[in-house]
Amino acid sequence: MLPLRILSRFAGKILNLTIPEKLRPKIYKAYAKNFGCNLDEMLDEDLTHYKSIAEFFYRRIKPEARPIDKKVDLVSPVDGRVLQFGEIINNEIEQVKGFTYSVESLLGYNGNSKKEKTIELSKEKIEKVIKSMQRQPSHMNMTHQKFLETYSIESSEVAEKIKERETNKYVRHHNKLYYCVLYLSPGDYHHFHSPTNWIIEKCRHFSGHLLSVSPKIVNLVHNLFTVNERIALLGRWKHGFFSMVPVGATNVGSVVLTIDDKLKTNMPYRKQSIKRRDKNYGVFVERSYDNGSPLLKGIPVHRGEELGGFQMGSTVVLVFEAPKNFKFNITPHQKINVGQPISEK
């Protein structure tokens, strides 16, 4: 019932206020001490260069501080803490013991979700996005065919044929569906990266509530991740369906998406295309990347590449298809960093 969206936007304005240069080191060091930030990891260690608390929140770190494990299929996309993970049974994800929410309500596939419109990005815009991504030299000139072959991913044509013959839209009969929920605290590095080599086919923006996603609130609020504002990135990887969902939260100024800088979150009601009187927070706007390549029908991303970030702490939910012998390499409440393994070798 609280006006959390308005309060979050107000907090965003406060956090973006310019701090006098001479006060910046003292304020940021106090913040770092309170929330456990490692200032030695910062790409730019000069604290006077960060004009506001928001800029400090969204600080970059040295690439060598987060080496990407290349021996596993799946790595952590964020610095954070493991909240939940496991197999999805009957398309239900366990939020906490006794609380579940459906894959459909999270990703927007069932009758309770309503697609307001689809925005088709042109081939030129998608090519521009791919060129602008911070890529290793070996990735920059990789052809689409080479990408599919290197990472054992099906072409769009093959993937469509498989979808037609399967009864479940998420998982094939010889696979299972899994999930992993990672929570970012205010002191964590706030950028999120690609957890695997995959193709992002579409993006769905759900403009919902901005409730807190702290572990205490997660234990109290049923369907929390399906009523909060979120961006669902949907696509495929070597084992089939793959999705990554950055979830907004109270005081998160916005969710930034590197591959689509036109997408804006935490907007005032009057600027949102979604009709608020509908009170259906399953309403979403879909952005399609089909025009990028007839072979891929999406944007190819490599494991470890930056995909965006939060302008404060929040949560990322992974939902993906994998073989029945897939095993996680994490434990509940474990602290984890970008690039560290989530799956076993």
Which of 281 and 174 is assigned the larger pLDDT?
Answer: 174
What is the per-residue pLDDT for 110?
66
Average confidence (pLDDT) over 293-308: 93
Can you give the pTM of this predicted structure?
Answer: 0.88
pLDDT digits (tens, 9 = 90+) for 185-243: 888 999 999 999 999 999 998 877 666 556 666 666 666 667 778 899 999 999 999 99
Which of 258 and 157 is assigned the larger pLDDT?
Answer: 157
Contacts of 195 (CB under 8 A, 6+ apart): 74, 75, 76, 77, 244, 303, 318, 342
Q: Which residues are designated catalytic? A: 79, 193, 314
> What percent of the chain shows pLDDT beyond 70?
81
DSSP of 82-97 = EEEEEE-BTTEEEEET
Among 7-16, 30-39, 226-235, 284-293, the minimum mean pLDDT is found in: 7-16
What is the per-residue pLDDT for 88?
93
Among 162-176, 290-304, 329-343, the minimum mean pLDDT is found in: 162-176
What are the b/e assignments for 3-32, b being 16+ CB within 10 Å?
A: ebbeebbebbeebeeebeeeebeeebeebb
Of the candidates 115, 110, 95, the one whose C-alpha atom is nearest the C-alpha of residue 180 is 95
Confidence band, pLDDT 50/70/90 cuts, at residue 179: very high
For residue 329, pLDDT beyond 90: yes
For residue 23, pLDDT beyond 60: yes
- Mean pLDDT estimate for the chain: 84
Within 10 A of 91 (CB to CB), how many other CB atoms are there?
Answer: 19
What is the per-residue pLDDT for 319?
96
Strands (E), 66-140: 80-87, 92-96, 99-102, 114-120
Confidence band, pLDDT 50/70/90 cuts, at residue 5: low
What is the per-residue pLDDT for 270?
40
Among 72-86, 131-145, 247-261, the minimum mean pLDDT is found in: 247-261
For residue 95, pLDDT beyond 60: yes
